[in-house]
Amino acid sequence: MTHHPDDSPDYGQPAGAPDGPAPWSGAPVPAPRYGQYVHGQASADPRGAQRGGHDGAAQRRRRPRRVGGMPVTWTLIGICVVMWGLQWLTSLFTPYSLTSILGYAPSLTDTQPWRMLTSGFVHAMPSPLHLLLNMYTLYLFGRMLEPLLGTWRMAVLFVVSVLGGSVGVLLLGNPWVLVIGASGGVFGLFGAMFVFMRHFKNNITPIAVLIAINLAFGFLVGGIAWQAHVGGLIAGAVVALAMLPGLRRRF
- Whether 54 is catalytic is no
Burial 194-215 (b: 16+ CB within 10 A, else e): bbbbeeeeeeeeebeeebeebb
CB within 8 Å of 177: residues ≥ 6 apart: 105, 225
- Output the DSSP codes for 199-210: HTT---HHHHHH
- Residue 225 CB neighbour total at 10 angstroms: 25
Is residue 229 part of the annotated active site? The answer reads yes
Question: How many beta carbons lie within 10 A of that of residue 121, not counting itself?
Answer: 20
Residues catalogued as catalytic: 183, 229
